[in-house]
């Protein structure tokens, strides 16, 4: 009897415990994943899906809906018409390595203003943000460079999480209070890595100052204006809303992104979009297995696209592929590729994760986007990386340094360098071994990236934000942060002391001189 009672008591206690853990049961969550880029959305989709499967009511505004009718708690508002906006803003420009980063950032912001207008003008979404009775327990928005959508946090008086499919750019780190010293930590859009040379530190410092000024005086007022146009004029200033962000989910792994100090509300995600391998479609399987000397898989990802790269580079690549002993499977976005070598097979769409899982794939030639790199790491396929935009050059350098691939500069590379690199990576076993080591390191974690994202989302719902974790670096004024007031005080003090000493010295010297004169007289 006593035993039974004890059992019941334990059951009750455990029941209550699990109830308190699930206190945020069935919260209402709004997600805005604005960027029309397949690789970005691949990071966000699992978060929306997992939250809905935990019984939360999730509404997602996305250009790439999951469209899975079994996800009954997930409502998706389709903004796929925004793909035209990104195309209209000239992807070739972003891709060019010759263009300075200061000319690219304003273009990315300009694209974001247009994206925001298009999303706010969506009729379904309009019904949500114009409804005075609408309530949310949590808002999750993509944060790439522009903070416009963070204004929804003030509109609905709900805690907000910023999520990025890559690292954070300098303005985002600044808003959440991460130290961003230009002497050590490379900016996402700058390709510097490890110990910076004097020239690199000089450039990175200039960029640091420029980006602060640009955000403060140009971009933030514009973003604020866009948000006010749709959400009403009684919002607080957008920069203040941004500093209220509850957490930042960054898709950073400590290999591709140099480790750096971060406040506790930055949650690192890894391998978000990786799925267990699925069986390949028969035609693709045949192509891979009929490659006698092995297969080279070539894709520049969903944003760069082989279509967009300079003609010169495309011709060079065809020349290189013709000289290889391997079959090449190329993700190419058109039906026809004039002058295609006979050992090259083109397909418009390919199941990349599943292809990389096939043991006959020897090398992955990639642009070095984060999602592609993670797929290569997870499937242990060494890489030849030809970076074009954003964080790709930084990733390429890190992959090269880790010995899991080689980094090619498309501006100066030659046919011979490319052929040598591809054959080296295919035949030298060290690349694959390093890849295996890297995978083991990255997989050795107490919980997966997705589990971390869900835990933090529910933590923020339970505790109504993370005000208690706010770093003082968020609120400190810049001249105090850099100790400019203290340094000025030192300079004044030292100058004063030196002046007093000089005066004193002169005084003593003059008195001695006078005395001497009197004596000699
Ligand atoms: C939807 O949420 C409810 C609770 O709000 C839960 O019982 C149900 O299992 C969820 N459905 C799915 C498919 O996740
Ligand atoms: C930031 O959050 C605090 C507490 O949650 C709130 O009082 C304040 O008004 C918010 N500020 C802005 C600008 O949203
Ligand atoms: C291309 O330039 C990079 C430096 O930007 C250099 O490291 C590399 O060796 C060069 N490659 C060739 C083939 O000249």
Closest-CA residue, ligand 3 atom 3, reads: 409
What confidence score (pLDDT) does residue 91 get? 62
Is residue 129 one of the residues assigned to a domain?
A: yes
| Final residue in a domain of this structure, among 388, 421, 443 | 443
The sign of the dihedral angle between the CA atoms of 190, 195, 198, 202 is positive
412 lines ligand 3 (CB under 6 A): yes
Atom of ligand 1 nearest to the CA of 73: 1
Question: Cα 318–319–321 angle (5° rounding)?
Answer: 65
Q: Quick one: which ligand is closest to 244's CA?
A: 2
Q: Specify the CATH number for the domain of residue 431.
A: 3.40.50.2000
- 52 and 160 in a single domain? The answer is yes
- 258 and 287 in a single domain? The answer is no
- Length of the chain, please? 521
What confidence score (pLDDT) does residue 18 get? 46
What confidence score (pLDDT) does residue 16 get? 45
* Dist. CA 240 → ligand 2 center (Å): 8
What confidence score (pLDDT) does residue 12 get? 47
Task: Judge whether residue 521 has pLDDT over 90.
Answer: no
- 198 and 304 in a single domain? The answer is no
Closest-CA residue, ligand 1 atom 4, reads: 55
> Which of 6-15, 158-167, 448-457 is least confident?
6-15
For residue range 396-410, list pLDDT tens digits in order. 888 998 999 999 998
Is residue 6 one of the residues assigned to a domain?
A: no
Q: Where are the beta strands (DSSP E) in 79-144?
A: 138-142
Closest-CA residue, ligand 3 atom 10, reads: 412
What confidence score (pLDDT) does residue 378 get? 94
Determine the structural domain holding residue 178 and report its residue range. 23-270+447-474
25 lines ligand 1 (CB under 6 A): no
Neighbours of 353 (CB within 10 A): 21
Neighbours of 347 (CB within 10 A): 17
Query: Which residue carries 């490890």 as its tokens?
Result: 194
The whole-model pTM stands at 0.85
Share of the chain above pLDDT 70, in %: 91
Task: Judge whether residue 22 has pLDDT over 60.
Answer: no
For residue range 259-303, list pLDDT tens digits in order. 888 999 999 998 998 989 999 999 999 989 998 999 999 998 776
- 242 and 343 in a single domain? The answer is no
- 409 and 465 in a single domain? The answer is no
> Which of 2-6, 123-127, 353-357, 414-418 is least confident?
2-6
Residue range 444-471: average pLDDT? 95
Q: What is the DSSP string of 300-337?
A: -HHHH-TTTS-HHHHHHHHHHHHT-SSEEEEE-SSS--
Q: Mutate which of 29, 72, 458 to test ligand 1's pocket (most atoms within 8 Å of Cβ)?
A: 72
* Dist. CA 374 → ligand 3 center (Å): 25
Is residue 511 one of the residues assigned to a domain?
A: no
Contact 396/387 with Cβ under 8 angstroms? yes
- 200 and 320 in a single domain? The answer is no
Is residue 128 one of the residues assigned to a domain?
A: yes
- 161 and 44 in a single domain? The answer is yes
Closest-CA residue, ligand 1 atom 8, reads: 55
Instruction: Give 245's pLDDT tier (boundaries 50, 70, 90).
Output: very high
Q: How many domains does the chain have?
A: 2
Rg (CA), the chain: 28
What confidence score (pLDDT) does residue 149 get? 97
What is the token pair recorded at 366? 């990639």
- 350 and 261 in a single domain? The answer is no
Instruction: Give 17's pLDDT tier (boundaries 50, 70, 90).
Output: very low
Atom of ligand 3 nearest to the CA of 412: 1
Burial of 343 (0-12, 13-18, 19+ CB in 10 A): middle
- 239 and 169 in a single domain? The answer is yes
User: Given its phi and psi angles, is residue 397 left (phi above 0), alpha (psi -120 to 50 degrees) or beta?
Assistant: alpha
361-366 vs 295-299, strand pairing mode? parallel
Q: Which of 99-113, 136-150, 170-184, 287-301 has the highest mean pLDDT?
A: 136-150
Closest-CA residue, ligand 2 atom 2, reads: 244
Is residue 321 one of the residues assigned to a domain?
A: yes
Residue range 324-347: average pLDDT? 87
> Which of 56-70, 303-317, 505-519 is least confident?
303-317
Is residue 515 one of the residues assigned to a domain?
A: no
Closest-CA residue, ligand 3 atom 1, reads: 412
441 lines ligand 1 (CB under 6 A): no
For residue range 153-174, list pLDDT tens digits in order. 999 999 999 999 988 888 899 8
Is residue 501 one of the residues assigned to a domain?
A: no
* Dist. CA 47 → ligand 1 center (Å): 16
Is residue 519 one of the residues assigned to a domain?
A: no
> Which of 89-98, 236-245, 318-327 is least confident?
89-98
- 334 and 362 in a single domain? The answer is yes
> Which of 12-21, 167-176, 198-207, 223-232 is least confident?
12-21
* Dist. CA 54 → ligand 1 center (Å): 7
| Final residue in a domain of this structure, among 455, 474, 493 | 474
Q: Quick one: which ligand is closest to 407's CA?
A: 3
What confidence score (pLDDT) does residue 24 get? 53
CA–CA separation, 38 vs 435, rounded Å?
Answer: 25
* Dist. CA 69 → ligand 1 center (Å): 13
| Final residue in a domain of this structure, among 400, 426, 443 | 443
- 265 and 295 in a single domain? The answer is no
- 145 and 266 in a single domain? The answer is yes
What confidence score (pLDDT) does residue 466 get? 96
């Amino acid at each position: 009897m006593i035993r039974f009672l004890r059992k019941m008591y334990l059951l009750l206690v455990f029941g209550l415990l699990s109830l308190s853990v699930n206190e945020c049961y069935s919260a209402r969550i709004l997600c805005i994943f604005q960027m029309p880029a397949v690789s970005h959305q691949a990071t966000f989709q699992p978060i929306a899906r997992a939250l809905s499967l935990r019984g939360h009511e999730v509404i997602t505004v996305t250009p790439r809906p999951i469209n899975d009718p079994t996800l009954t708690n997930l409502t998706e508002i389709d903004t796929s018409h925004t793909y035209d906006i990104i195309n209209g803003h000239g992807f070739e420009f972003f891709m060019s390595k010759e263009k300075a980063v200061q000319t690219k950032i304003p273009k990315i912001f300009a694209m974001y203003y247009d994206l925001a207008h298009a999303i706010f003008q969506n009729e379904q979404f309009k019904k949500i943000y114009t409804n005075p009775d609408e309530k949310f327990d949590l808002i999750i928005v993509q944060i790439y460079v522009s903070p416009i959508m963070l204004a929804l946090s003030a509109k609905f008086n709900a805690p907000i999480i910023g999520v990025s499919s890559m690292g954070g750019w300098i303005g985002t780190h600044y808003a959440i209070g991460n130290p961003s010293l230009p002497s050590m930590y490379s900016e996402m859009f700058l390709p510097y890595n490890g110990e910076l040379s004097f020239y690199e530190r000089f450039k990175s410092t200039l960029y640091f100052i420029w980006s602060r000024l640009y955000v403060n005086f140009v971009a933030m007022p514009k973003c604020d204006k866009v948000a006010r146009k749709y959400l009403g004029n009684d919002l607080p200033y957008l920069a203040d809303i941004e500093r209220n962000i509850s957490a930042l989910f960054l898709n950073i792994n400590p290999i591709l992104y140099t480790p750096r100090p971060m406040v506790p509300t930055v949650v690192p995600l890894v391998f978000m979009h990786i799925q267990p391998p699925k069986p390949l479609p028969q035609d693709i399987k045949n192509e891979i297995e009929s490659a006698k000397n092995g297969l080279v898989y070539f894709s520049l990802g969903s944003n760069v696209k082989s279509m967009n790269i300079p003609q010169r580079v495309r011709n060079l690549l065809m020349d290189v592929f013709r000289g290889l002993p391997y079959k090449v499977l190329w993700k190419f976005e058109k039906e026809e590729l004039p002058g295609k070598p006979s050992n090259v097979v083109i397909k418009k769409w390919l199941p990349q994760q599943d292809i990389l899982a096939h043991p006959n794939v020897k090398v992955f030639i990639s642009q070095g986007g984060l999602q592609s790199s993670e797929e290569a790491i997870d499937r242990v396929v060494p890489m030849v990386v030809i970076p074009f935009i954003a964080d790709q050059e930084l990733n390429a350098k890190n992959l090269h340094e880790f010995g899991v691939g080689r980094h090619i500069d498309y501006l100066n590379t030659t046919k011979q360098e490319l052929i040598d690199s591809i054959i080296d990576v295919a035949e030298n076993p060290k690349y694959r071994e390093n890849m295996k080591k890297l995978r083991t390191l990255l997989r050795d974690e107490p919980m997966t990236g997705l589990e971390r994202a869900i835990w933090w989302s529910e933590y923020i719902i339970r505790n109504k934000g993370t005000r208690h974790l706010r770093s003082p670096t968020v609120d400190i004024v810049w001249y105090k942060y850099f100790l400019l007031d203290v340094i000025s005080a030192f300079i004044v003090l030292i100058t004063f002391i030196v002046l007093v000493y000089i005066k004193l010295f002169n005084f003593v010297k003059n008195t001695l001189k006078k005395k001497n004169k009197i004596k000699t007289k």
